[in-house]
């Protein structure tokens, strides 16, 4: 499971590196990570490492590289 989370974290990082700040929905679409739990685990991993910032705009969450 740790390997899957790490792989998905790489996909999230690459999507944000290429696309800049995105909604969580856009990150999910860009990475093609199907399960929300897998997406959130990957973002949690990156957030814990201090690599992400989060912002709520009009009730929707956006994420960007720190």
pLDDT at 47: 98
pLDDT at 34: 96
8 A C-beta contact, residue 59 and residue 50: no
Mind listing the domains of the chain with CATH numbers? 2-65 (1.10.10.10)
Per-residue pLDDT of the chain (66 residues; tens, 9 = 90+): 999 999 999 999 999 999 999 999 999 999 999 999 999 999 999 999 999 999 999 999 999 999
8 A C-beta contact, residue 4 and residue 35: no
pTM above 0.85, yes or no: yes
3-state secondary structure (DSSP) of residue 54: strand
3-state secondary structure (DSSP) of residue 60: strand
Alpha-carbon span 3 to 44, nearest angstrom? 14
pLDDT at 65: 98
């Amino acid at each position: 499971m740790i390997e899957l989370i790490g792989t998905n974290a790489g996909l999230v990082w690459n999507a944000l590196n290429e696309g800049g700040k995105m909604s969580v929905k856009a990150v999910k679409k860009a990475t093609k990570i199907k399960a929300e739990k897998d997406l959130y685990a990957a973002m949690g991993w990156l957030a814990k490492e201090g690599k992400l910032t989060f912002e709520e705009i009009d009730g929707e969450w956006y994420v960007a590289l720190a």
